Structure 1
Amino acid sequence: MRKEDLMTVYESIGQLRDQGIKMKDIADRLDMPPSVLSAIYSTVLPAYLDNLSRQEEDAALENALSLVNNVSKKRLLSSLPDMLRQLQNYCSPVSEITLPIEKALAEGVRLTVAEIGNYTGVYQSYSLSSSSDALKMEPYLIIPSPDGHSVRVGRLSAYRTLQWGTGIINNHQNFYVTFSETAPPQLNLVTLYLQLPFREHPGMLRGLYLALDYNRNPIARRIVLVKQSEAVAAEDFANLKSGIIAKDQLTPEQEVYYQYTCQPGDYIKMCTVPTPHLDASDLAREKKMLEL
């Protein structure tokens, strides 16, 4: 089993290198010094595989390790399970993609990492409340992921729940953000379609916000994200202000956002139509029900 595992590590690193991924980036993913990973890949594993034709496994590995001074047998074998797991996750986006949309998403994630620096920071969002004619205020945080391979988007909901998702920039013009309002295993997706202005470090983003209302009916609304700062610590982000603002409590600035996001033409709602069979006549009934 150890022989197969070491061969898998060698082949996986080789596959990533063939894709143009730098050894430093692979080492960061494995939480390993680049010099150690380079010694394992360039010296230890090739020598080990060559020694196997003449020696037993233990002797082959020990002789291969004797060629370097920064990798021990104990360290290599103890880190092997985690290396296999991380390399499998690292390689799978390339090897398991079968649908065109999966390939497009993987490429979109890669390109987004290069562009997201123009939009990172803390934003205060404004949109229509699902429960009343009021302005909903929720902070968003846009940052690169810790490993630098994707983008993280956090939202502090009006009810003080912190949710994390991701985002993809498309054609330098649109930023798609998605996350779940509920914890696993439930999945209640929220999706933002944001239009990106043609300027560096914009102070405002705007777009459409698609989610479910309290009865699990789809609702689409305008949303505005107003930039507050370039960065914030995670614990400080969780303490930012969020909530529902009644119309008579709006500041002059918030009144502008209310007028933009909370008017009749700024949202589309749906409702459940009580009918034994849904046909064209029920479509008109639904609209009348929504007017009540």
Structure 2
Amino acid sequence: MNDLIEIYRRIEYLRNNGVKMKEIADYINMAPSVLSALYSSVLPTYVTSLKQGRSEEDSLNLALSQVNNVSKKRLLGNLAAIKDLLFSLEPAGEANRANPFMEMMNVEMLRSVQEVYNYSGAYLSYSLSSSNGCLKVEPYLIESSEDNTYVKVTHMSAYNTTHRGVALFNNHQNGYIIFNEREAPQMALFNIYLQLPMYDFPSFLKGLYLSLDYNRNPIARRILFVKQSDSTDMEEFLEMKGELVPLDELTPLQKKYYDYTCQSGDFIRTCMIPSPQLNENDLEREKKMLAI
């Protein structure tokens, strides 16, 4: 009955790599409810019972007693066929298996679709403008993709240019938004790290973003997302506009956002120092230049 343990590990592998339980059930010609009972109850109990020193027979009997829709006779009679089918099923994007990081990203994108309901909708973001001391206001739309394979993010800049990217949400703690700020084939990634509050449907999200300034030097700044609507209608979103708001034109509410995101301690800048030596003295020169 060692096949049962291999089957359990294989189902776990497929699920962790984005294959849905219904897809697995259809592929091995098993009712989804039976596969669910097998994976969530029977096989875990069987493995635990073996570790406790019970025999394979007693462990299986105990595991099957926990459910009422899995037949011992049918399970054992089809064990070899189930195992062969499971091991012939491979997750999508198999080309990424040579790159564990990209494989992990694909899995996390699928998981994030299950979390996006908590954060989907239209937002206005508030941060410091790179070009001046204005408050930068930019719309964002967070939603599931049309095929429910990733979380899609649309960003409209203060200059009314739009970008498309992806978001990852992890265990209601961390969120990441990633997109390319330049036209292809140029690469200029814009990355936002969000702290996710420990309650449902938050009215705002806060975090940090890393991007490139106009001289293509990296900058990190504080950013605040304030939810405007639960709607993910694109036409409604496109009616929203980004803007740069000078300090003397801020509303009382915008002034609170400005004070949170635009103070001297709320951003980090770097710059490239032309130097034939490129030694430790250049580090000091850089800090002096940034202080000007």
1:251, CA displacement in angstroms? 0.5
Q: Is the 8 A contact 2:96 2:102 kept in 1?
A: no
Match of 2:141 in 1: 141
Counterparts of 1:290 and 1:20, CA distance in 2: 51
SS of the residue aligned with 2:93?
A: helix
Counterparts of 2:212 and 2:183, CA distance in 1: 15
- Are 2:116 and 1:97 aligned? no
Counterparts of 1:133 and 1:252, CA distance in 2: 17
SS of the residue aligned with 1:241?
A: coil
Q: Is the 8 A contact 1:162 1:238 kept in 2?
A: no
Counterparts of 1:192 and 1:261, CA distance in 2: 14
Match of 2:173 in 1: 173
- Are 2:112 and 1:112 aligned? yes
- Of 237-246 and 203-212, more deviation after overlay is shown by 237-246
Change over 3 Å in CA distance of 1:152–1:257 after alignment to 2: same
Q: Is the 8 A contact 1:193 1:209 kept in 2?
A: yes
Q: Is the 8 A contact 2:142 2:232 kept in 1?
A: no
- Are 2:221 and 1:235 aligned? no
Counterparts of 1:244 and 1:250, CA distance in 2: 10
Unaligned runs of 5+ in 2: 1-13, 27-89
Per-residue deviation, residues 72-122 of structure 1 (Å, max 9, x unmatched): xxxxxxxxxxxxxxxxxx954235322332232122112111111000000
Q: Is the 8 A contact 1:156 1:242 kept in 2?
A: yes
Counterparts of 1:137 and 1:221, CA distance in 2: 14
SS of the residue aligned with 1:96?
A: helix
Q: Which amino acid aligns with 1:282?
A: D
Q: For residues 200-211 of structure 1, what are the structure 2 equivalents within 5 Å?
A: 200-211=200-211
Counterparts of 1:171 and 1:103, CA distance in 2: 19
Match of 1:283 in 2: 283
Match of 2:271 in 1: 271
Per-residue deviation, residues 161-209 of structure 1 (Å, max 9, x unmatched): 0111001112320001001112211121100000000010000000001
Q: Which amino acid aligns with 1:227?
A: K
Counterparts of 2:230 and 2:210, CA distance in 1: 26
SS of the residue aligned with 1:216?
A: coil
Per-residue deviation, residues 107-156 of structure 1 (Å, max 9, x unmatched): 21121111110000001000000000110000100000000111000111
Counterparts of 1:207 and 1:259, CA distance in 2: 15
Counterparts of 1:215 and 1:283, CA distance in 2: 18
- Are 2:192 and 1:219 aligned? no
Q: Which amino acid aligns with 2:291?
A: E
Identity %: 46
Unaligned runs of 5+ in 1: 1-14, 27-89
**Count of matched residue positions in the alignment of Structure 1 and Structure 2:** 213
Q: For residues 76-87 of structure 1, what are the structure 2 equivalents within 5 Å?
A: none
SS of the residue aligned with 2:194?
A: strand
Q: Which amino acid aligns with 2:165?
A: G
Q: Is the 8 A contact 1:179 1:191 kept in 2?
A: yes
Per-residue deviation, residues 48-81 of structure 1 (Å, max 9, x unmatched): xxxxxxxxxxxxxxxxxxxxxxxxxxxxxxxxxx
Q: Which amino acid aligns with 2:202?
A: P
Counterparts of 1:114 and 1:234, CA distance in 2: 21
Over the aligned positions, Cα root-mean-square deviation in angstroms equals 2.2
Change over 3 Å in CA distance of 1:278–1:107 after alignment to 2: same
Q: Which amino acid aligns with 2:122?
A: V
